[in-house]
Amino acid sequence: MPGTNLTREEARQRAKLLTVDSYEIDLDLSGAQGGGTSRSSEAESGGGTYRSVTTVRFDVAEDGDGAESFIDLVAPAVHEVTLNGDSLDPAEVFADSRIALPGLLKGRNILRVSADCAYTNTGEGLHRFVDPVDDQAYLYTQFEVPDARRVFASFEQPDLKATFQFTVKAPEGWTVVSNSPTPEPADNVWTFEPTPRISSYITALIVGPYHSVHSVYEKDGQSVPLGIYCRPSLAEFLDSDAIFEVTRQGFDWFQEKFDYAYPFAKYDQLFVPEFNAGAMENAGAVTIRDQYVFRSKVTDAAYEVRAETILHELAHMWFGDLVTMEWWNDLWLNESFATYTSIACQAAAPGSRWPHSWTTFANSMKTWAYRQDQLPSTHPIMADIRDLDDVLVNFDGITYAKGASVLKQLVAYVGEDEFFRGVQAYFKRHAYGNTRLSDLLGALEETSGRDLRAWSKQWLETAGINVLRPEIETDADGVITSFAIRQEAPALPAGAKGEPTLRPHRIAVGAYDLGADGKLVRGERVELDVDGELTAVPQLVGKARPAVVLLNDDDLSYAKVRLDEQSLAFVTEHLGDFAESLPRALCWASAWDMTRDAELAARDYLSLVLSGIGKESDIGVVQSLHRQVKLAVDLYADPAARETLLARWTDATLAHLRSARPASDHQLAWARAFAATARTPEQLDLLEGLLAGTQTVEGLAVDTELRWSFVQRLAAVGRFDEAEIAGEYERDRTAAGERHAATARAARPTPEAKAEAWESVVESDKLPNAVQEAVIAGFVQTDQRELLAPYTDRYFEVLADVWASRSHEIAQQIAIGLYPGVQVTGETLDKTDAWLTGAEPNAALRRLVSESRAGVERALRAQAADAAAS
């Protein structure tokens, strides 16, 4: 039985048979408010369900008279199915998340389905949340990939586009937002105008007593209504002016580059609670996780990430919504393009606060891609998606970050003007339709004059990553006599499909020396094509050897880069002296990759960071280094040296905290880094004193979010127990406070606390998605390995049942979050292998567990390298 799965072949056959015209969806959400809390597995009203009535008009192909098909629906009960006026028995036609449609007529067919659909607390379908501040319910939909069928009967595949008309009954005084502009309600019923032709997964409803701020985008006679929404309890923190500013920059830049006007009637951005992803590109009604409404002071890096998210979703209005992939193997056409263009917009849009956004991209997004591309689950950018189970685990670093990196290289290869002219032709040719990779490449070939078939085969249709190394020879006077770039194609990880591939790269080579002011500046730049195993660089022969040679300068290509021995030695002493942020970020990234690959010992990586981080001005890079150092010491360091290295790092974080400019972003970042590993009695006393106000650090505002960081650390080391956690929650009785308290409780270093956390996540299904995530975050503490050791066997005992019985999002949280990745031992690998062999999991679960196993295997290699360095 297919369960909730759908295969690519089934989708192809259905698309050959059917053309969908329109949906009319009538939802009765009048009982949604109820009287209870969302902290249960069901909403309190109506048994956790609501009435959903769907009328679908669709045509059947000429040769389809009498054929059979099916429509998708996940619902507790179906009351009525009427096909072309004939009543079908729900007991006979509804099974396994499908309604069978027998005896279809050639030409127009009309289907009516009446069902009870369920509210969720998993972030899938129609999510219901009750705000503890005002005891009001807030609803929103999340349909990607296949969850529109949780709210209405639908042909759940992207190439069966249609118009959608929603009619919604809701409690008096509530707001109802959808893809079309919000109408005036009549008797608490909102009847929306039909949408343009779009895919089911980008339809949306956001319902509840939301707070809103409105504006308009106007330019050259164009007028687009803009809205921003959040819960009233967050309204005081909503910086709508800043959000509108970024949005307008995106409208200006995208419309110019795409030469296609924004394709929908309005543009709302809705900050919603307990959202699983960062945001979702529903046409004209983008939903965004409401952690982006900042309750406390954050660094500018957080605002940059939020702006990128805003621009990413806006870019999707063209890439993904206007023009949509035919099937999920071309998901990258949505995500890679949205990622690339959002970063490009941040870097180039007039007035942008983040012109150095490519630095952030190199330091964070590409690091994600490099990690993903070295896992056994690595896959081509254009992935082979056989069914929905495949795509559900494919929103990864390759689909987003590697794809965007490759697009950046493609722009350098064909030229920016030619690239965007191709994109413009693509939109005009395929507006409101569906496409494949060949459609985009064809448009780009027309405008660039280049044959992109070979490029596509090497970059989009193969997996794995290349390594570029400089080979430099000099004479006695330090003059370069030979310069070449060696390209390597390492073997793909065990279990990965495909063969290693040498690829063509368009890169720049930068030559850096110290200037009179002590800054490392680029004296020369050579841009060239690297192809094959060895590429000569004659332009640098006969010139004085620079202090640092940096391959892939300006980050044009996607490849792991190594520094030659002389450059690495110089960078180790002077990494913080680069005048520009991007070459610094590239060197930091190279050092981190070497650490992950066991080419640089964890202790040496720590020394490198400590030598240069004090001079690092980019706050995003600083925060990435904080995370990477902690991971390196926790997992990649020789266990015998771990405590010494942690003490060294923690001492450094405290010194930087005390010396940072008061009230600066750097001071806040160092405060968080210090809190993450504070360990001595004196350090923990300082955390307690900062919480109590008996100690201070000049300029440091110990606000709500920072307080929770301190509380969670004090709970994890046994200083704080239930009384202190409950007292902090009394100060912050909000949804965020509830999550933070759940993390702190689960972090306590006692068998009882771990058993309670495990039971609430694994043995019960009552926790909402966001609270479950918070409990898992507290449960797994890297300095509680012995306490967590018994849960390795328990994890493998329950995993198959959890995967079979929970929704995808909930099961995935457990599968990834509770994997015993802190137990870096051969025994963990053996138990994982035994489970993979004996349990015979489906492809999606096998992938998640295999990825986690690869992390332990990598950590073992790194620990051996670090021990050898001692």
What's the Cα-to-Cα distance from 723 to each of 288, 711, 719, 741, 743, rounded to whole Å?
34, 12, 11, 11, 15
The DSSP line for 215-264 is EEEEETTEEEEEEEEE-GGGGGG--HHHHHHHHHHHHHHHHHHHTS---S
Q: 218 is written with which tokens?
A: 């106007």
Provide the residue count of the chain: 870
In the DSSP assignment, the letter for residue 610 is H
What percent of the residues of the chain are helix, what percent strand, and what percent coil, each to the nearest 5?
A: 45, 20, 35
CB burial class (10 A; 0-12, 13-18, 19+) of residue 749? middle
Q: Can you tell me the distance from the alpha carbon of 140 to that of 456, in angstroms, rounded to the nearest whole number?
A: 38
What's the Cα-to-Cα distance from 103 to each of 10, 88, 99, 316, rounded to whole Å?
18, 11, 13, 38
Question: Which residue type is seen at 232?
Answer: P
**Among 869, 304, 293, 368, which Cα is nearest to 627's?**
368
Q: Can you tell me the distance from the alpha carbon of 573 to that of 562, in angstroms, rounded to the nearest whole number?
A: 17
Strand partners, 480: 474
- Contact indicator for 74, 4 with CB cutoff of 8 Å: yes
3-state secondary structure of 492: coil
Give 476-480's long-range contacts (Cβ < 8 A, gap of 24+).
478/544, 478/545, 479/542, 479/543, 479/544, 479/545, 480/540, 480/541, 480/542, 480/543, 480/544, 480/545
- Contact indicator for 14, 69 with CB cutoff of 8 Å: yes
CB burial class (10 A; 0-12, 13-18, 19+) of residue 61? middle
3-state secondary structure of 484: strand
- Which of 44, 313, 326, 616 does the annotation list as catalytic? 313
Other CB atoms within a 10 A radius of the CB of residue 441 amount to 20
What's the Cα-to-Cα distance from 747 to each of 648, 776, 778, rounded to whole Å?
23, 9, 4
Q: Give catalytic status of residue 527 as yes or no.
A: no
Q: What is the largest CA-CA distance in the chain?
A: 92
Three-state SS for 685-711 is HHHHHHHHCCCCCCCCCCCHHHHHHHH
Q: Which residue has the tokens 């007593």?
A: 209
Which positions are catalytic?
313
